[in-house]
Amino acid sequence: MAAAMQDPSWTEMGEPPRPRGGLGLACCTSRPKPGKVEMPAPKGESGPPIWDTADLSWWDFQRRRWRTLWLMRTVYYRYKKLQGDTESMPEGPVQDALWEEVHKLSSKEMRMHAEDCKGLFIKVGQAMSAMVGQLPDCYTNEFLLLTDHLPVSTIEEVYGTIQRSFKMPPKDVFSEFDPEPLASASIAQVHRARLRHSGEIVAVKVQHEGVDRIFTEDISTLSTVAGQVAFWSPDLDFRKFADEWAESLPHELDFTHERGAIKRAGDALRNAGNACIVPTVHSKYFGKHVFVMEFIDAGPFLDLADAEFCKRNNISKHEVLTSLLDAFGIMAFKDGMFHADPHAGNVRLKLDTSAPGGARPVLLDWGLFRVITDDERLGLAKVFHSLANFDMAGLFDVLESLGFALKDEAKTDQFKRDLLDKCRGVMKDTISRDQTRADAKEALKEYKARLDRAAQQNDEAQGSYSPIYFLEDWPSCIIFFMRMLQIVRGLCVAVDADGMPILQIFARHAKEALQEGSRQLMISNRLRMFQGRDGRPNLPETPRAVSPTSVELARNEGLEEVVQQALAKLLEAKKIVGAQVAIIQGSRLICEVAAGTLSSIDARPVEKDTRFPLLGATPGIAALAFLRALRRQSKELLAEGLSPADLLKKTLVRQIWPKFGGGTSQVTLAQLLSHSAGLQDAYPKEFHQSTLDDVAGVAAHLEQDVLSVARETRYAYLVQAFAMAKLGDCLAGQDDVLHWLGLELGPLGLDAAQPMGRGREASICRDLPHLARVSMSEVQSARARRLQAESSPVAPGAEFGGSSGSTAGAPASQAEEERKASTLLQAIANDPLVFDPLQGNAPQGGLFRAGLSLGASARGLAEMFSSQELQADLEELQALELAGQDKTAVGWLLTGGASQWTTGGLQALELRPSGAKALLGHRQGGYGVVCGFGPIVAHFPDLAPGGVTLAVLVNDVLHGRQAVTELLQAALQGFGVVPTWPSMTMSVMADAHKLAHSPEAAPLVDKVGGIEGLKKMLDLSVAAEAPAGKSSPEARGRCGGCGEGVTKVRAALVARLGGCCGHG
């Protein structure tokens, strides 16, 4: 720096010097004098090209406009002709050479046109220079020249602009001023100078004369080009992009806005501790066309591509790029303002051994920035959080709230899945230039295949590749955000930084921004996010009795302290996000505890009246409502000589639901309620996300002859909820499940509600960090799935519930093909995202979501289950008699191990003595509703005088079963018992191993990465235990649940699965 300060090329302020040869680091282009046709002078020869636009006439502007339109037409028809010429030509070197020749010619013409016309064309070229691997190399190489060797204003024009802005001669402000600019861009150029009053070396940014006229004209031209391109190819409709650029132009031409942006960004990054540097602006010398800022000695950012440079300076480019990506995540999601033009000319590199990676990115030229509202900022954050977690329901909910509007033909499950895949593909981890180029070729190949099919089927929508074609409207905030993201990604590719986890980094900042936004209640009613799971206006509460059932409050402080400690440990271990526990003994509420937050992105605390999603527990709760209605109408349904105790076992379902099973089914109510009716093999062939709200459609499907002949007990996940909803309609005349539950169970204390109930419901969480890493294998698998779906479309009339989706699945026999239904595993293989518990967060449709979205509080569930009136109903109908047991691994997982059913649709539960009571005590029986994802409510009539009822609710489905088991163990230890059902038996393990290798499960296993992927997903290990009594002492261990001596294999398994060993 000292040497630079004494550089003899610096000029003492006085008469304006003549321009020197050599340009240095420039970033824009020039236009020759009218009447001349010449290229910009090479660096170091006759001097830099001069930015001479102040005297352009009306004719000059018209000529620029028509030259642009003519060039656009020439390039378009050149490519169309080549496309036709090569259509019948085989792929290979000859065809590639023809395309390469056209790419070179067109890219050179476009670059020369931008250099000649300047203005907005420079910015467009600079943005395209960052699309390394996405555009042919000749394009990015040509456009990279637009970030260097660009025209400059004369020093006389520079001095004149400074004097007009500061109202004083430049020599009164600067003691020295370098006449050669450090850089020149499309709007301004930057000079190095020394302030007279302080001697500080500064950078002076001076706007080119006449640039405002050029940009205004270019915006008009760009709008015309956008309209013509949209006419030629609807896939490339960027008229809204042109409109957004026109709106931002006045801010870019007024440097007072840029000064504010620099200060705001610098403060945000410094406060966040980010390594990126943003220059500070001098507080005194600034105006609309000039401002003075800190001088930063930094080199080209693309030096990171040089392995020798990185090695010589001990630089880790991945760490440096992480700082850069962190900076944009902070700006976009936490501050709400970001640099919208971070191409290689605007991002520099400053060596700093104290910085992460050994260097700091420097962000310059803040003329093009974007400020977004809190709604937009948090909405975009929710988009990235949803993409990172493969949350399709959350993604499309927030897209709708942000202002995305799909055309009618795009409102299908297939399109939504394809769009999710493509969005994740855009955010994939960075890959090399060669891989990026190969991926772009594969995408082009897919596009051509779609065009061919569209031509054959005369279907314009089928041939479209761009999501823009399917949008009626989209928010303006997304335009510059995606531009920024694309350019930053291009920088990573340009420096050969493979494996940069862009989505993971952005999603982390998005999650933190959402958490802070929820704490500050910054979200508006328009954006459905924190106002309950769907944020719609509050509706009336669930129908209840005139005065809700209340229990006597008699808290057991010791028990509550134990439960609170268990919750604290689970929160510290990140096994729960939010939880509630309620325990009632007799009619006394002895424990009620809440902890954690409403979701992983909603940091508001869980309260005692917060409702949690019921998920797979909804059918069991609905069974209770059905039993109460059934008892009231028992006299009408009973045949002569039968008692209420015979009602469940001897009444056919079709006596209540006449069309069930084709109207000829012999299934009894007890069989249906205990999951022994064959519903587990009766999923609709086209079971997709939109089906989850279609109660009438699924009910109509179950009214066909689709039931499995086998009557073995198998848990009918999701489908059971539809059957219970239809039964409620047939028996009680209630076609609204929520209203029905409120009428039947509300008087007993249940406070069930739909997501919009009060705006403080907990949300389902499933945050998997590895999902935020998008690999090329995922992108390729998604592309293959799309090709398979498109090559085997659903036959007309075969779509179910208005959905359309992939028909991929296991090869089926002719008999299976003739069936109108699918098994659970076939349905999962066909569309796995339907079975994602996060579907319960979706607000669209009738809010049924197969019962997943309905919510209740732990106290409401416990009050209902402890009701003497409910227990009387169960006893009279003999609804607690044991029925079948699901012994499969799938059943065990989905029911949390509680797979023994009763005739009334409840789950039989058992407690065994532990500790001091292990030898003298006896097992306790009970019943309840248990979901493998967490929610549980259980009643044990003989555990203590008056019985004990427990309800535990959690919202993290990844660790739900394990967390609930630990909470139950903590709550029950005072009673001297532990639950037995969470223990995985050897038979279940054996079935899991058998299932993983079965042909039926092959499609599902393949989709999760084979057997190893399945083990990783389920976190299970199949192992054989040595026979009891034959293990050596060294092979023995202790169960973490009850302390019993068990083999080390079983002890390790228990440690991984949670719960207890099951030994007494």
Which of 989, 999, 615 lies closest to 826, judged by CA?
Answer: 999
3-state helix, strand, coil in the chain (%, to 5): 50, 15, 40
Q: Is 842 helix (H, G, I), strand (E, B) or coil?
A: coil
Question: E strand or H helix at 962, and its extent?
Answer: helix 960-972
Angle at 419 between CA 509 and CA 381, to 5 degrees: 15
What is the Cα–Cα distance from 12 to 16, expressed in whole angstroms?
10
What is the Cα–Cα distance from 622 to 192, expressed in whole angstroms?
76
Cβ atoms 680, 791 nearer than 8 A: no
Residue with token string 């590639």: 96
Cβ atoms 165, 185 nearer than 8 A: no
Q: What is the DSSP string of 759-775?
A: S-----B---GGGG---
* CA atoms lying within 13 Å on the CB side of residue 121: 27
Instruction: At 685, give phi and psi (nearest 5°).
Output: -55, -40
Full 3-state SS string of 859-898: HHHHHHHCCHHHHHHHHHCCCCCEEEECCCHHHHHHCCCC
Which of 936, 857, 951 lies closest to 548, judged by CA?
Answer: 857
373, two tokens: 């509202």
Burial 354-383 (b: 16+ CB within 10 A, else e): ebbbbbbbbbbbbbbbbbbeebbbbbbbbb
What is the Cα–Cα distance from 328 to 275, expressed in whole angstroms?
12
Active site (annotated) includes residue 991: no
Catalytic residue among 116, 218, 335, 341: 341
257, two tokens: 């806005």
Cβ atoms 195, 174 nearer than 8 A: yes
Instruction: At 925, give phi and psi (nearest 5°).
Output: -100, 155
| DSSP H helical ranges for 464-527 | 477-494, 502-520
Cβ atoms 223, 65 nearer than 8 A: no
Cβ atoms 726, 740 nearer than 8 A: no
The residues near 499 (Cβ < 8 Å, ≥ 6 apart) are 318, 429, 430, 431
The residues near 381 (Cβ < 8 Å, ≥ 6 apart) are 333, 509, 510, 511, 513, 514, 517
The residues near 1033 (Cβ < 8 Å, ≥ 6 apart) are none
The residues near 394 (Cβ < 8 Å, ≥ 6 apart) are 382, 385, 386, 838, 841, 842
735, two tokens: 């076609």
Residue with token string 């003899």: 8
Residue with token string 């979205």: 853
Q: What is the DSSP string of 983-1040?
A: SPPHHHHHHHHHHHTSTTTHHHHHHTTHHHHHHHHHT----PPPPTT---GGGEEE-T
Q: What is the DSSP string of 35-46?
A: T---PPPPTTSS
Cβ atoms 957, 1017 nearer than 8 A: no
Amino acid at 326: D
Which amino acids are annotated catalytic?
A: 341
